Structures are given as structure tokens and as C-alpha cells.
Amino acid sequence: MTIRLTSALACAAALVAATGLSMQGASAAPAPAFVRAADIAAPDNGWDFASWDAEHGLLLVAHGTDVLVIDPAHQTVRAIGTVGHAHGVVAIPGTGHILVSSGADNTARVLDETTGAEIARIPVAEDPDAVLLSPDARHAYIMGAKAGAISVVDLTTNTELRRIALKPGLEVPVLVTPGQIAVNNEDASEIELADLDTRSAAGTIALPGCTGPTGLAYDPEAGLALSACANGQAALVDLRARRLVKLLPIGQGPDTAIWDAVGHRFLVPCGKSGTLSVIAMDGRHATVAPGITTEASARTAAYDPAGARLYLPAARFGPATTGKRGPIVPGSFHIVVMAPAK
């Protein structure tokens, strides 16, 4: 009798303990990494990539026919330059200049960040899109999407030095080493590698299960990159071993990816689902957090690591016509600001 009672009590205690642990786990769900702060209003136009000018504390947005220069601290917004379908935009450190790719006329423009004056117009490979700077900011690498070539630009002389032939469909690149670039190929659903020393293609990395990769970010300590795919997946890739590690779930409609070195996490804005995917990295182990609501159309972003704030261009659109996206609702373009959760 005593044995039976003890066993029953033990079972009951185990049940309570298990229930308690389950409830504790449910109540200890991690808080979102970001919360929405006040938006920044800006002039209507189409847009593509955005970047953060850490030297001057400015947000840069490739904004259709110009570049937006936004000072979040003082809430000022300026449109500078005249560009033919702006795609990639970056500040050139130590110069006060901005480099922006102009897709409609196959050029890259160098603009004065303060006055907006055009300093140079550089012919580059067809359909220039994403832009990457060398570590010393003396060279720029501009992805010619339709040409399937990388234009190597000397930012001292503002001339194109050479082109590295890859395949059409080039999207976002990352610098793996000072002598190697990895770039997503949206059409082939793979990563292309380019050797900057030999000026030639250096192989590919297949991304099975990843359709239409666009955004790409790189964790140099782990040697892992994250490709944001159009089918609700992100491909975690070992660039040193040149292999796909695993697929991770993200939102729909991403167009960029960001590596936050301070927070040890990848940030992926997803425009169709209107969410931000956050993938925390612990060494080579990835943990996907629940998606954070942003806004539909917020597919690109820039990150301020000092303030831990994310800036996402967005707008509302009218009904689609003849299979194309509808027009921007007048007065609806703005910058969604995501601040660190307290």
C-alpha cells in the first residue's frame, strides 16, 4: 500500500513538474528584437536599395530618379541628383561623396552628398544594380544584372578599370576576402564567385530549395552567408567550403539581407509578407525568431549599428494593372523605423 501511494505521489509530482515547465516555457517566449517607432515622411517615388552612412549619420535611399539623403536625428529629408532608375547607393568614406548606380542609362554617378552636384558619370556594365565598396573605399564593384558582369571602378579617377564576366541575373554581392566576391544569381538560383586578382569567375555554389535569391549578407567570423530567397526560405551557406548548410524559413518577398555584427544576427526585410525575419547566430548555429511586423512593400532596408535602428522604405500601391504593380498612392511613401525593443 505504501509503495503504491508513493508511486502515485511520484507520478503526480512528475505531472505537475512537467506542466509547470511547459507553462514556464510558454510564458518565456522571447520578446521581439525591434518595435516600430515613428515613420519618416518622404517624397513619392519608386525605390530600391538603402544604405547607412555611418560617417555622417545619414540614411541613403536609391529613390527612382534621385537619391534621398535623410538625417533621422534632425528629421530632414533631401532629394539630390538626377538618376535614371537608381538601384544601389553607398557613401564613399572620407570623401563626402555618394555612389549610385543608374540602371536606365548603364552608368554609375558620383554625387556630392551635401550639394547634390554630379561629380562624375561612369559608363558600366548593362543594368547596373547593387554596389559594393572595397575595404579601403578606393574601388567599387557594380553588379551588371543583365550583362552578367561586375564592373570594377576606380573611385580615385572615376573610371571603369575592367569587367569580370559571370552570368546574367546578378543581385546582391558580399566581399568574402579582399580578393573574392560572392554574389547571388537570381536567375540561376545560385551564388557566383569572382576572383578579383585573376579578374575571372571562380565557381558557383548551388542553392537547391532556394528560388530567386536576391539579398545576401555575410558573417565573416563563421564564414557563413545568408541568401534571401523568393520562396519563403533563406539559404545558410558556407562560403569557405562552398556548400549549402541548411534552409531556414523567412517571410515572403525579401530583396536584401543585413549582417548585424554587434547583435550577431541576420536581418531580412520581407516586403510581400510585411515582416522582418531575424536569424540569431551562435557560432555556426542559427535560430529563427518569430517574424516581426513591419509593412507591406518594405523589402529593402539600411541598418544603423550604433543606434541599432532599422530603416525600411515603403509605400502603399493602387490596384495592379495588366499584370504590373499599381501606382504609388500619392503621399504614401515613407520610411518605416524599427527601434530596438526595451
Q: pLDDT tens for residues 299-330?
A: 999 999 999 999 999 999 998 877 778 899 99
pLDDT of residue 26: 43
pLDDT band at 342 (very low <50, low <70, confident <90, very high): confident
What's the whole-number average pLDDT of the chain? 92
pLDDT of residue 1: 37
Residue range 283-296: mean pLDDT, rounded: 96
14 has pLDDT over 50: no
21 has pLDDT over 80: no
72 has pLDDT over 70: yes
pLDDT of residue 27: 45
> How far, in Å, CA of 17 to CA of 19, rounded?
5
Least confident of 30-34, 49-53, 221-225, 275-279: 30-34
131 has pLDDT over 50: yes
Least confident of 21-25, 301-305, 338-342: 21-25
Beta strands 50-53 and 243-249: pairing type? unpaired
- What cell does 98 get? 555618394
End-to-end CA distance of the chain: give it in Å, rounded.
55
pLDDT of residue 121: 98
pLDDT of residue 195: 98
Q: Distance between alpha carbon 135 and the CA centroid of its chain, in Å?
A: 19
231 has pLDDT over 70: yes
8 has pLDDT over 80: no
| Residue 16 or residue 291, greater confidence | 291
pLDDT band at 30 (very low <50, low <70, confident <90, very high): low
Residue range 217-229: mean pLDDT, rounded: 97
Q: What is the pLDDT of residues 168-200, one digit of tens each?
A: 999 999 999 999 999 999 999 999 999 999 999
- What cell does 156 get? 580615385
Residue range 35-49: mean pLDDT, rounded: 97
Instruction: Give the CA distances from residue 182 to residues 166, 172, 204, 330, in Å, rounded to whole numbers and listed in that order.
Output: 11, 9, 9, 38
pLDDT of residue 234: 98
Beta strands 190-195 and 180-185: pairing type? antiparallel
Residue range 100-111: mean pLDDT, rounded: 97
